[in-house]
A and B are shown apart, each in its own frame.
Chain A
Amino acid sequence: MLYREAGDFKTSYREDGQTFPIRLDRWGYYAVLAVAFGIVPFLINDYWASAVLVPFLIYAVAAMGLNILTGYAGQVSLGTGGFMAVGAYAVYKLMTAFPEVNIVLHILLAGGITAIVGMVFGLPSLRIKGFYLAVATLAAQFFLVWLFNKVPWFYNYSASGQITAPERTLLGYAITGPASSAAVKYLVCLCFAVVLAWVARNLTRGTLGRKWMAIRDMDIAAEIIGVNPLTAKLSAFAVSSFFVGIAGALLFAVYLGAAEVGEAFGINKSFLVLFMIIIGGLGSVFGSFAGAAFMVLLPVLLKNLLVGGFGWPTNLAAHIELMIVGGLIILFLIVEPHGLARLWRLAKEKLRLWPFPH
């Protein structure tokens, strides 16, 4: 009964266009932010950070990136893993080449470099759509992984072929390298995720977002109202790759610490992020977070339940887990193709009217 627009009058177009038009939603959002910034950092331990929270936040950024491209602009991409690798290797090269420059700047620059690479691989989208574009981006995935394996310059000629993040500090706290604490890693990723979510929301509700959605929904009509398909599609690739690149940089530098390209950024990663946005909801910033949470949390929950609860052997649990995740993905595609974001929206619609049915 608290969840109502009633009495919450909008007297300007600015207010009418806000992200959370319902007061309770707004409060809920501020409450979540307050808990995430004010309480969680004091409670967090290594297990929670490395198993749940840090990967969730990083994948949420990647999912937002892919969602901008696929959910908002309608361009299918299977190259997410490859673009994350670009972000990771870019940040690695920058960290080692310019140790005195702030790591945050490096991560942002890595995003920028990925944006440029993304635009180059987005060029085929001007000619091809759908499945064919997916295959073209798949080529990007394999090419980029091959490139980072093949050219020793990218991994600084290290003997193992791996890249390892050196220690870098921000305000005196180590955020990369083995000395970094769980709370610091979490806070860094949280800051990136929150700021990028806000940026994603701003971009998608404004002019650029409308251009992307126009191209997605009907490209002919988009062109007739004056949308240049070239700039609209390439800007979607650029912004998307910027997000994905930052996610890749964080995954390598903050979360993994060391990475081998085929393992950390292989085709599996592309599919993982794609599943996240399908389950979370295409064309929704919230859906990116929901999908990332689902895909990160589910294996952890299942493992705790099967191994910890039922006492099954670990290898059996691991296989069952694969089957359950696969089954759930199929279930989602059939029952709710618009994902968790849509379920959430429906729940809110119901809540708005509750206790009345209509």
Chain B
Amino acid sequence: MLDRTEGYTTPDGRQIGGVLMELKDITLRFGGVVAIKEISFDIREGEIRAIIGPNGAGKSSMLNVISGFYHPQDGEVWFKGRRRPPMRPYQVARLGIARTFQNIALFDGMTVLDNIMTGRLNKMRSGLLSQALWWGAAEREEVENRAEVEKIIDFLEIQNIRKTPVGRLPYGLKKRVELARALAAEPGLLLLDEPMAGMNVEEKEDMSRFILDVNDEFGTTICLIEHDMGVVMDLSDRVVVMDYGRKIGDGTPDQVRSNQEVIDAYLGVAHD
């Protein structure tokens, strides 16, 4: 078991900090259905944390609890050493938690640039009058934030599509734009819900590289859900395994791989 407060060093030499987010005994029920049952785990500063499990294991529900869409019946969410009261999603966003969705949730009527600019809405402080007259704070903010957004556009290599309406883009690029929008918020914790679902090998490789780069360059803590085991084992520092709403494994990829319960969940158990 890892020490609960101190950080650790990953095999590739990255220093992981203390606990950023801690989930304590989370239970989430929809009527009689228990989606998540007494799950606890933590996310450390600077690490890439994966949540895996078979379909219907409660992974996305877990992410929705973190981002404020669902409110668990039991359990506590701790963020940056403080217990987080029940919050609406937009309040969670203001704490510095950004996310992407399994089914892309971009704003189809807006250009790529505008979509990414929406990621910075929380940095904008100008008042109604200033915006209406495009004078002072509004214009200054627009230019400053545009400069930040351009850095992200460069980083994710989507310069050529910045003025394209998002609705016209192919799937892989949409996923990348969604990542860009989440990054534009400069999140302390980035939640990725199946960032590689439906991608071909090449796109997966690109996306994996971006995830690693984001973690490396901005030091962003990442929590991701993914089905592709190869990707998960390569990318993540620690893995939580869920099955039927329960946690059945937690640890480094190697520990998880050799966990008998995890093997059973994925491969099935012989009934004799």
The chain A residues found within 8 Å of chain B, CB to CB, are 12-14, 16-17, 199, 202-203, 206-208, 210-211, 213-214, 216-218, 220-229, 235, 283
- A223-B89 contact in complex given A12-B143, A207-B121, A207-B138, C-beta closer than 8 Å: yes
B213 at the interface (CB under 8 A from A): no
Shortest Cβ distance from A17 into B: residue: B142
Q: Are B109 and A217 in contact (CB under 8 A)?
A: yes
Q: Among the interface residues A13, A14, A220, which one has the most CB atoms of the partner chain B within 10 A?
A: A13
- Give the residue of B126, B128, B143, B181 whose beta carbon is less than 8 angstroms from that of A225: B181
Residues of A within 8 A of B94 (CB): 226
**Interface, chain B (partner A; CB < 8 A):** 67, 69, 88-90, 92-94, 98-99, 101, 105-110, 114, 117-119, 121-122, 124, 126, 128, 131-134, 138-139, 141-143, 146-147, 150, 181-182, 185
CA A220 to CA B133, docked complex, whole Å: 30
Q: How far is the CA of A216 from the CA of B69 in the complex (A)?
A: 19
In contact, A207 and B146 (Cβ under 8 angstroms)? no
A207 to B140, CA, bound (A): 12
Q: Within 8 Å CB of B150, what residues of A?
A: 13
Chain B residues, CB < 8 A from A218: 105-108
On whether the beta carbons of A17 and B131 are closer than 8 Å, the reply is no
Decide: B134 and A229 in contact? CB cutoff 8 A.
no
Q: Can you list 19 A-B contacts (CB < 8 A)? A: A14-B143, A16-B146, A17-B142, A203-B131, A203-B132, A206-B138, A207-B121, A207-B141, A208-B128, A210-B110, A217-B106, A217-B109, A225-B90, A225-B98, A225-B119, A226-B90, A226-B93, A226-B185, A227-B118
Q: A206-B138, A218-B108, A224-B69 are in contact. List 18 more A-B contacts (CB 8 A).
A: A13-B142, A199-B133, A202-B132, A202-B133, A203-B131, A203-B132, A210-B110, A210-B117, A210-B121, A211-B121, A214-B107, A218-B105, A224-B90, A224-B98, A225-B118, A225-B119, A225-B121, A225-B182
CA distance A59 to B138 in the complex (A): 29
Residues of B within 8 A of A235 (CB): 128
Task: List chain A residues, Cβ under 8 A from B118.
Answer: 210-211, 214, 222, 225, 227
Query: Inside 8 A of A199's CB, which chain B residues have their CB?
Result: 132-133
Contact of B107 among A14, A17, A217, A226 (CB under 8 A): A217
Shortest CB–CB separation between residue A69 and chain B, in angstroms? 15
Complex alpha-carbon distance, A213 and B134, angstroms: 18
A213-B90 in contact (CB<8A): no
- Distance to closest chain A CB from B235 (angstroms): 23
User: What distance in Å separates the Cβ of B124 from its nearest Cβ neighbour in chain A?
Assistant: 4
- Asked whether A202 and B131 contact (CB < 8 A) given A213-B109, A224-B99, the answer is yes
Contacts of A202 in B (CB 8 A): 131-134, 138
Do A226 and B121 contact each other (CB < 8 Å), given the known contacts A202-B131, A206-B131, A213-B114?
Answer: yes
Cβ B105 vs Cβ A224 within 8 A: yes
Residues of B within 8 A of A223 (CB): 88-90, 93
Contacts of B119 in A (CB 8 A): 225
CA distance A214 to B90 in the complex (A): 13
